[in-house]
Amino acid sequence: MSSRRLVPSLVAVLIAASTLSACGGDDGDGSSTGKDAAVSTGTVASTPTAGVAAIPADAVATVGGEPITRATLDHWVAVVRRAAPATAGQPASSRKAAAKGFRDQALQFLISGIRITREAERRGLTVTAAEIDKAFAAEKQRSYPKAADFQRFLKSSGMTPADLRRRVELNVSSSKLQAAVAKGTQQQKGAALDRFTREFTRRWRAQTFCRADLAVADCANFRGTAGAQATPSSP
């Protein structure tokens, strides 16, 4: 059975985890707690320069004051690499470009996950362990009803049960955000979507800082090409 039913590619995860923007909503829809600043685990810097300087030594980025450690990034880069076509035998330039793509994709996934979690917290929404357990068990039963198949998937993908639970947690958080911000008619939802997407992107990009050599378009200190794309906020 395909692993994609339980764990899609990271690009799909980024989109699925960000489906909150597909249902609309904005800061004035009544579902927000009224706090414009994000819930964070530390002080959020006021400028990109200060934000980069405040990144902990063992981290590669911070989102709303929460660090993404180098070990965490390395783990997810390995997961992306395993899911991608082999690059052996390709020119060195192609292998280098592929390696950067793996790293960027993993970092964008981690950034997106924290943003979704923090936005839910900002709106007073919680996800309980019981909810995660129930959703995880249902997904696992649908995709891998046999325990041996599930263990083979973990071994081949490089993922851990904790990784899969995190993915499920993001989906549950997204569903709760959808329920909180989806208001009014379809036309009203469409207009609210545009407002929410602008505000969500503005708020969280301003609080996302990455080491200069790793910065992606989601980072406030990104200085790449004008055509670079940030994490998609809707399918």
* Comparison of pLDDT for 189 and 35, the residue scoring more: 189
Give Cα 10 distance to the centre of its chain: 9
Whether residue 197 lies inside any domain: the answer is: yes
Q: Which of 14-23, 104-113, 207-216 has the lowest mean pLDDT?
A: 14-23
Q: Is the pLDDT of residue 22 over 70?
A: no
Residue burial 105-139, b: 16+ Cβ < 10 Å; e: rest: bbbbbbbbbbbbbbbbbbbebebeeebbeebbeeb
Name the residue range of residue 196's domain.
3-210
For residues 49 and 60, what is the distance between their CA atoms, to the nearest angstrom?
Answer: 14
Q: What type of residue is 73? A: L
Model pLDDT, residue 229: 52
CB-based contact 176:127 (threshold 8 Å) = yes
Model pLDDT, residue 114: 96
Residue 37 DSSP SS3: coil
Model pLDDT, residue 136: 94
Q: Is the pLDDT of residue 170 over 80?
A: yes
Q: Which of 90-99, 170-179, 186-195 has the lowest mean pLDDT?
A: 186-195
Whether residue 123 lies inside any domain: the answer is: yes
What is the torsion angle, in degrees rounded to the nearest 10, for the CA atoms of residue 135, residue 138, residue 141 and residue 144?
A: -40
Statement: the pTM of the whole predicted model exceeds 0.85 = no
Q: Is the pLDDT of residue 39 over 90?
A: no
Query: E strands within the chain?
Result: 59-63, 66-69, 208-210
Mean predicted confidence (pLDDT) in 1-17: 40
Q: pLDDT per residue over 58-116, tens digit each?
A: 999 999 999 999 999 999 999 999 998 887 788 888 889 999 999 999 999 999 999 99
Whether residue 18 lies inside any domain: the answer is: yes
Residue 87 DSSP SS3: coil
Query: How many domains does the chain fold into?
Result: 1
Mean predicted confidence (pLDDT) in 161-165: 95
Whether residue 176 lies inside any domain: the answer is: yes
Whether residue 31 lies inside any domain: the answer is: yes
Q: Is the pLDDT of residue 222 over 80?
A: yes
Mean predicted confidence (pLDDT) in 152-178: 91
Query: Among residues 122, 128, 170, which one has the least CA distance to residue 18?
Result: 170
Residue 143 DSSP SS3: helix
Mean predicted confidence (pLDDT) in 119-123: 93
Whether residue 29 lies inside any domain: the answer is: yes
Whether residue 231 lies inside any domain: the answer is: no
Model pLDDT, residue 230: 53
Backbone angles phi, psi at 69, to 5 degrees: -75, 155
Whether residue 215 lies inside any domain: the answer is: no
- CB count in 10 Å sphere of residue 154: 16
How far apart are the two ends of the chain, measured CA to CA in Å? 25
Give Cα 176 distance to the centre of its chain: 16
Q: Is the pLDDT of residue 155 over 70?
A: yes
Q: Is the pLDDT of residue 232 over 90?
A: no
Model pLDDT, residue 58: 97
